[in-house]
Amino acid sequence: MRNQTAKAAVLVAAGALVLAACGTNKEESGGGGGQAACDTSKGTLIVGVIAPQSGSLSALGLGIKNSADLAVKQANEACKVKGYKLALQTEDDQATAQVGAQAATKLSSNPNVVGVIGTLNSSVAQSVQPVLAQKKIAQISPANTNPSLTQGTDYATSKKRPFETYFRVCTTDALQGPFGATYMVSKAGKKKIATISDGKTYGVGLVQEFTKQATKLGAAVVANETVGEKDTDFGGVIAKIRGAAPDAVYYGGEYPIAGPLSKQMKDAGLNVPLMGGDGIFDPKFIELGGADGDLATSVGAPTESLSSAKAFVDAYAAANYPEAFSAYGAFSYDSANALIGALATTMGDSGTWGEDKRADLLKNIGSYKATGATGEVAFDEYGDSTNKLLTVYQVSGKEWKPVETGKFEG
């Protein structure tokens, strides 16, 4: 998939879309690329993407971008939104909250932005949500798992939706953490567990939810440490947790830290499995030092195993994107299709887009139901996905292999 000709073609296409987005909102019918038979005389509408396109998490962010791009191209070929062409505008949030807020501000200044796909990081979502909400711009995340984004900071005792503009197609850490803990304690038989987080919203929340379930099942959390997201030497933390003699380590964070942490643990003689959430579920984790026996949970069922995902997987391969769709590609594809499908309903056969349509678009996203690449795509009253499936993966033979798929039943 990494051929330079295909990469150049993608870059040229991306440049054309940016030009379309920056130009006038009037466009004549036709124009090639599957558009010849479509009436696009009313102009161009923008689907935004906010995700890391550079830096250590770019493998995940580029999969999100490419998969949304595929959905937009297919919608244009099918003349999905009558009278309009859709264009993708991607903003690189660099996995940083401040940069994400700037990206959201840029997109929200354009009246032709119909919605935003993203973000990857829950901490970035916290800064993006209020900016988009000011303009009633829909945001659908393929990857955010922190429960507070949809259910408020007191979600455990008093759920309250903070932003009506925010939706997600993946389940939350309120289920992912306990699902992982149940496997670790009840299936893998681990009773003394050390936990480590990167101190960010996602990692801290995931560790908290894991810990509650692990202790409920009778395991002891024998150490609880924090590392910095830019740390490279984990010798001090490893020495602390090694003294507690854990039989497993649970890490809340992402693969740029988790991979080297796993390697340094084993090098230091702490030869126990490291487990994490969806933030470490990527081949990069293994490349960076993740070892056979390490574990991860991720949202949904394995994409390649789903009959509902076959068309997406085949279309993505045929498009020759230079990067893999990665952990969240199918979820991004479903997010974009939910936005586009709700937009088509909002516009009907003769509607004209204006910012006053955003309220109706939000209602139509809320009531959207379809079978997507990841299975059932629909939202509850908080904007959360109704699809609660999760999967445990284990590194075996230097590959992630699924070992259990199901739901956390409490």
Q: In angstroms, how far is CA 268 from the centroid of its own chain?
A: 33
For residues 368 and 396, membership in a common domain is answered with no
Mean pLDDT per block of 10 residues along the chain (410 residues) reads 35 37 37 63 98 97 98 98 98 98 98 98 98 98 98 96 98 98 98 97 98 98 96 97 98 98 98 98 97 98 96 98 97 98 97 98 98 97 97 97 93
Q: What is the per-residue pLDDT across 237-247, written as a single tens digit (0 to 9) for each? A: 999 999 999 99
328 in any annotated domain: yes
| CB crowding 307-333: b at 16 or more within 10 Å, else e | ebbeebbebbeebebbbbbbbbbbbbb
Domain match, 152 and 179 both: no
pTM, rounded to two decimals:
0.90
Of the candidates 174, 168, 173, 171, the residue with the CA atom closest to the CA atom of residue 368: 168
Q: Looking at the domain assignment, is residue 34 inside a domain? A: yes
Distance separating alpha carbons of residues 223 and 219, to the nearest angstrom = 12
Is 384 domain-assigned? no
Q: What is the pLDDT of residue 2?
A: 31
Q: Report whether 333 contacts 67 (CB < 8 A).
A: yes
Examine the domain organization and report whether 365 and 400 are in the same domain.
no
Alpha-carbon 107 to chain mean position: 19
Domain match, 166 and 70 both: yes
User: 295 with 309, same domain?
Assistant: no
Per-residue pLDDT, 12 = 34
pLDDT of 37 reads: 83
**From CA 28, how far away is CA 31, in angstroms rounded?**
8
| Residue 347: CATH number of its domain | 3.40.50.2300
Q: Are residues 75 and 192 in the same domain?
A: no
Residue-range definition of the domain harbouring residue 394: 173-299+390-406
What pLDDT does 171 receive? 97
Taking the CA atoms of the chain, what radius of gyration do you get in angstroms? 21
**pLDDT tens sequence across 344-398:** 999 999 999 999 999 999 999 999 999 999 999 999 999 999 999 999 999 999 9
Specify the pLDDT at position 410: 75
CB atoms within 10 A of CB 243: 11
Residue 390: strand pairing partners: 299, 406
Q: What is residue 394's predicted lDDT score, i.e. its pLDDT?
A: 98
User: Does 255 lie in the same domain as 134?
Assistant: no
* Residues 252 and 335 reside in one and the same domain: no
Q: In this structure, is residue 383 part of a structural domain?
A: no
**pLDDT value, residue 319:** 98
355/114 Cα distance (integer angstroms) = 8
CA distances from 396 to 19, 180, 240, 264, 295 (A): 46, 18, 28, 19, 10
Q: Give the pLDDT score at 36.
A: 58
Residue 103 lies in a domain: yes
Inside any domain, residue 385:
no
Same domain, 166 and 105: yes
- Residues 288 and 336 both lie in one domain: no
Q: For position 14, what pLDDT does the model report?
A: 38
Q: Please check whether residue 188 lies inside any domain of the structure.
A: yes
* Shared-domain flag, residues 258 and 311: no
Report yes or no on 96 lying in a domain: yes
DSSP 25-48: S---S--STT-TTS--TTEEEEEE
Q: Let me know whether 67 and 160 are in one domain.
A: yes
Question: Per the structure, how many domains does the chain have?
Answer: 2
